[in-house]
Amino acid sequence: MTASFTVDPAPTRLTLAFHGRLDSANCAGLHDAVLAQLGAVSAGQVLRFDLAGSDFVASAFLRLCILAARTVGADRFEVADPAPLVREVFTMAGLDRHLTIVDTATQ
């Protein structure tokens, strides 16, 4: 059960699309690679963490989201398409009040 992410750069958005279980062990393996991408976000871009490919996040991933949002600015960071149980984790942690969570199907 591994996890990975792909990078999709677009003119106004840099998307990191995550796949697999984002549990404590897998997040530790992804941590440095994700942080390395934060420097690639240009002034005109939003950073999006696309969670459509993951059905499990642990608090280690929430910490990555906070670090990312603080680095690029909360108004330029968004979490996209979390599964219901994943969204529930963001809500339980109170992060739904501080992070933009979008459902692209309704946009």
Residues that bind another protein (CB under 8 A): 1, 21, 23-26, 28, 55-56, 58-60, 62-63, 66-67, 69-70, 74, 85, 89, 92-95, 98-99
| Minimum distance from residue 99 beta carbon to another protein (Å) | 7
Taking the least distance from each CB to another protein, the nearer of 10 and 92 is 92
Element housing 89 (H / E): helix 84-92
| Minimum distance from residue 88 beta carbon to another protein (Å) | 9
| Minimum distance from residue 67 beta carbon to another protein (Å) | 7
- Name residue, tokens 């910490």: 63
On the 0-12 / 13-18 / 19+ scale of CB atoms within 10 A, 107 is exposed
For residue 6, the tally of other CB atoms under 10 A from its CB is: 11
Taking the least distance from each CB to another protein, the nearer of 6 and 59 is 59
| Minimum distance from residue 81 beta carbon to another protein (Å) | 17
For residue 82, the tally of other CB atoms under 10 A from its CB is: 23
